[in-house]
Amino acid sequence: MSQTVQRALSIVEFIAERPRSLGEVAGHLGVHRSTALRLLHTLREGGFARIVGGRYTVGLRLVALAHQALDQLDLHPVAHPHLVRLADRHGHTVHLAQLVGDEIVYVDKVDGRGALRLSSRVGRPVNPQTSGVGKAILAYLDEASRERFLARISYQAYTATSITSPEALRAELARTAARGWAEDDGEYEEVVACVAAPVRDARGRVVAAVSVTAPRVLAPLERLRGCLPDLTDTCAAISRDLGWTGGDQP
Amino acid sequence: MSQTVQRALSIVEFIAERPRSLGEVAGHLGVHRSTALRLLHTLREGGFARIVGGRYTVGLRLVALAHQALDQLDLHPVAHPHLVRLADRHGHTVHLAQLVGDEIVYVDKVDGRGALRLSSRVGRPVNPQTSGVGKAILAYLDEASRERFLARISYQAYTATSITSPEALRAELARTAARGWAEDDGEYEEVVACVAAPVRDARGRVVAAVSVTAPRVLAPLERLRGCLPDLTDTCAAISRDLGWTGGDQP
DNA sequence: CTCCGTTGTTGCACATGTTGCAACCGCCAG
DNA sequence: CTGGCGGTTGCAACATGTGCAACAACGGAG
């Protein structure tokens, strides 16, 4: 493991929070100012950091690489037009989460029309047990993979409706599989609800999910359930674009 | 300058192109496989790389940091809803480019409805002399800044309509300033045209520009000019959201 | 205007972290 | 079964990264 590279990556994380001075970076890393300066120079030269008003912030080359990486996921460019239309028809925020390796992450987000913004962020992991997209993916994993996920979950009680045990989550996933869609009824943030449905790849495996999400004051769960026919049609269309040929709903 | 960090960043650039094996990474850097392996392990641990099917590709943590960085730009979250609506009304791709330090970069892009995709990419620099957004920003820079930009441009003739001299560019920028908008008539890619207008910050300085862009087969320049009232209104709205209070068009 | 403290920067000696090597393991094709 | 290839690891050598001391610039207080 490379200590120098770890330091550099740690700097990038630190300056992404908000612009930072050289001294703050040196303090954060616990190194001499001259060490921090050299690391920052190298990050700047590579486009991963830049200086604005005497403070260091993230460089635009990193942003370009991130977009390049998203385009490589295959799913994002295929799904994005569908998500935009779905968000447009319902006026609510739409998320796409994908199973990437052994975690589920948000890979796209299309904002709804309202002024309220949801805190989810592309690139970040999903809470698999509280989020609609997490449950919509977990419900269709093979048992061994699913149990590995369940074993890693902390079952924290974020709100009164959070799922707090593996048994309760298994029951919820069984319900999800039976009806073909998942929901989040304020289980992570009390004021947010969503419905979600799975997306299949060419071989019929569930690799992603899409959700329609809104603050409950604007759209309680019952109202979001009204989006389900359109949502599951959208997921079927994305699945077909990925080469899935199954006739029934994904 | 840190050689080890340079190597790590070079690895991230290399694997962002497409997934790469350990041997390819070692060959690209000119180092031993064990050296490349240690660097990749550190990048993986920091979330900047991951393994898929025995090959290394970009990690999702980098994607999350990029979105965080874009949110820090102040402009992107403010402008994005306006861009989405503008793209929706016209059905064409909309770009937002921002003056960041001493370069102009694409910071947002909302795809149009057609199947054709434009090659522009968020995070990447703009060609200031061929692109509408580049010209819309350059036209309003103070003379010293503008001349610095003009001095750095290579004036390559990408197409028959490219601007190929500083004099021609100065004339074009004067026209842009006089009429309040810029255009790209296939100057970088012959098949693409656009119109663009400037965005001002709270102090009235032009800090960004928005363009409506389309393949010429779908929307020749004359047709895109029809979008100009809506485009300049949108830029005025974004400018007001940034605190600009000038009464006339930006 | 002067002085002091803070921040950013640089040259250099040296400590240490990085590096390549050799060997190993697993896999696959012949 | 064998050989080649790719991924991995322990270790000694050495090349690089590091902290230190000193310097310059800047801003604020007196």
Residue A70: its chain B contacts at CB < 8 A?
A: 63
Non-local CB neighbours of A204 within 8 Å, separated by 6+ positions? A244, A246
Please state, in angstroms and rounded to a whole number, the distance separating the CA atoms of residues A87 and A84. Answer: 5
* β-sheet with B192-200: strand ranges across: B103-110, B93-100, B206-215, B192-200, B182-185
Taking alpha carbons only, the member of A87, A130, A60, A125 closest to residue A219 is A87
CB contact under 8 A, B111 and A68: no
Q: Is residue B250 part of a domain?
A: no
Domain boundary among A65, A84, A108: A65
Amino acid whose CA is nearest the C1' of D6: B23
- Asked whether residue A50 carries a pLDDT value surpassing 70, the answer given is yes
Please state, in angstroms and rounded to a whole number, the distance separating the CA atoms of residues A73 and A210. Answer: 16
Amino acid whose CA is nearest the C1' of C11: A34
CB contact under 8 A, B100 and A19: no
pLDDT tens digits, A171-219: 999 999 999 999 999 898 888 999 999 999 888 889 999 999 998 888 8
Residues B114 and B41 in one domain: no
- Asked whether residue A126 carries a pLDDT value surpassing 80, the answer given is yes
Q: Is residue A152 part of a domain?
A: yes
Taking alpha carbons only, the member of A249, A207, A202, A204 closest to residue A228 is A249
Residues A13 and A99 in one domain: no
Cα within 13 Å of Cα(A43), Cβ side:
31
Please state, in angstroms and rounded to a whole number, the distance separating the CA atoms of residues A55 and A24. Answer: 10
Residue B100: its chain A contacts at CB < 8 A?
A: 50, 60
Among the partner residues B4, B57, B60, nearest to A105 by beta-carbon distance? B60
Residue in the structure block whose two tokens are 């590279």:
A5
Residues B16 and B54 in one domain: yes
Nucleic strand D under 7 Å from the C-beta of B31: no
For residues B196-211, give the mean pLDDT: 92
pLDDT for position B249: 60
* Cα distances (angstroms) measured from residue B103 to each of A41, A61, A66, A76, B166: 18, 12, 19, 28, 17
Q: Which of residues 25-84 of A touch strand C (CB under 7 A)?
A: 33-34, 37-38, 54-55
Residue that wins the pLDDT comparison between B179 and B52: B179
Number of neighbouring beta carbons within 10 Å of residue B180:
17
Taking alpha carbons only, the member of A154, A73, A206, A207 closest to residue B62 is A73
* Cα distances (angstroms) measured from residue B61 to each of B4, B48, B67, B194: 20, 6, 10, 34
pLDDT for position B102: 79
pLDDT tens digits, B99-136: 987 789 999 998 887 767 777 888 888 999 999 999 99
Domain boundary among A27, A46, A65: A65
Cα within 13 Å of Cα(A53), Cβ side:
3
The pLDDT confidence band at residue A51, using thresholds 50, 70 and 90, is: confident
Non-local CB neighbours of A175 within 8 Å, separated by 6+ positions? none
pLDDT for position A106: 93
Residues A87 and A60 in one domain: no
> Which domain CATH number covers B35?
1.10.10.10
Nearest residue in A to B89, CA atom: A88
Task: List the helix and strand counts (H, then E) for chain A.
Answer: 10, 7
CB contact under 8 A, A72 and B18: yes
- Asked whether residue B247 carries a pLDDT value surpassing 70, the answer given is no
Residues A78 and A58 in one domain: no
List chain C nucleotides near protein: any atom < 7 Å from a Cβ. Answer: 6-11, 17-22
Which run of H or E residues covers position A136?
helix A132-138
Does ipTM surpass 0.90 in this model? no
Closest-CA distance, A137 to chain B, in angstroms, reads 18
List chain D nucleotides near protein: any atom < 7 Å from a Cβ. Answer: 5-10, 16-21
Residues B147-162 as b/e (b if ≥16 CB within 10 A, e otherwise) read eebbeebeeeebeeeb
CB contact under 8 A, B2 and A42: yes
pLDDT for position B132: 95
Burial class (CB in 10 A: 0-12, 13-18, 19+), A222: exposed
Between A and B, how many residue pairs show a Cβ–Cβ distance under 8 A? 167
Among the partner residues B39, B68, B101, nearest to A52 by beta-carbon distance? B101
- Asked whether residue B250 carries a pLDDT value surpassing 60, the answer given is no
What range does the domain containing B196 cover?
73-241
Residues B157 and B99 in one domain: yes
Q: Is residue B168 part of a domain?
A: yes
CB contact under 8 A, A64 and B13: no
pLDDT for position B212: 96
Which run of H or E residues covers position B112?
none
Torsion, Cα of A202, A203, A207, A211 (10° steps):
60
CB contact under 8 A, A69 and B16: yes
> Which domain CATH number covers B210?
3.30.450.40
Taking alpha carbons only, the member of A126, A115, A141 closest to residue A200 is A141
The fraction of chain A above a pLDDT of 90, given in percent, is: 53
Report the length, in residues, of chain A: 250
pLDDT for position A115: 66
Residues A57-93 as b/e (b if ≥16 CB within 10 A, e otherwise) read bbbbbbbbbbbbbbebbebbeebbbbbbbbbeebebb
Nearest residue in A to B109, CA atom: A67
pLDDT for position B213: 94
pLDDT for position A123: 87
Amino acid whose CA is nearest the C1' of C7: A23
Residue that wins the pLDDT comparison between B81 and B250: B81
Residue B41: its chain A contacts at CB < 8 A?
A: 1-2
Residue B149 CA, chain-centre distance (Å), reads 16
pLDDT for position A71: 81
- Asked whether residue B89 carries a pLDDT value surpassing 70, the answer given is yes
Q: Is residue B247 part of a domain?
A: no
Closest-CA distance, A91 to chain B, in angstroms, reads 12
For residues B166-181, give the mean pLDDT: 94
Residues B10 and B129 in one domain: no
In degrees and rounded to multiples of 5, residue A81 shows phi and psi of: -60, -40
Residue B5 CA, chain-centre distance (Å), reads 26
Residues A133 and A44 in one domain: no
Domain boundary among A49, A65, A81: A65
SS3 for B183?
A: strand
pLDDT for position A249: 60
For residues B237-242, give the mean pLDDT: 91
**Rg value, chain A, Cα:** 20
CB contact under 8 A, A66 and B61: no
Non-local CB neighbours of B99 within 8 Å, separated by 6+ positions? B137, B141, B206, B207, B208
- Asked whether residue A250 carries a pLDDT value surpassing 60, the answer given is no
For residues A108-113, give the mean pLDDT: 87
Residues B145 and B208 in one domain: yes
Nearest residue in B to A119, CA atom: B68
Amino acid at B159: T
Closest-CA distance, A191 to chain B, in angstroms, reads 22
Which run of H or E residues covers position B129?
none
CB contact under 8 A, A5 and B5: yes
Output the average pLDDT for chain B.
89
Which nt is closest to the CA of B51, judged by C1'? D7
CB contact under 8 A, B66 and A66: yes
Q: Is residue B196 part of a domain?
A: yes
Residues A207 and A152 in one domain: yes
pLDDT for position A69: 86
Q: Is residue A228 part of a domain?
A: yes
Q: Is residue B113 part of a domain?
A: yes
Residues A109 and A227 in one domain: yes
Which of B3, B9, B25 is the best residue to mutate to test the A interface, defined by the most A CB atoms within 10 Å of its own CB? B9
Q: Is residue A200 part of a domain?
A: yes
Nucleic strand D under 7 Å from the C-beta of A41: no
Structurally, how many domains does chain A consist of?
2
Please state, in angstroms and rounded to a whole number, the distance separating the CA atoms of residues A62 and A248. Answer: 41
Please state, in angstroms and rounded to a whole number, the distance separating the CA atoms of residues A179 and A177. Answer: 6
The fraction of chain B above a pLDDT of 90, given in percent, is: 49
Which nt is closest to the CA of B20, judged by C1'? D6
Residues A172 and A236 in one domain: yes
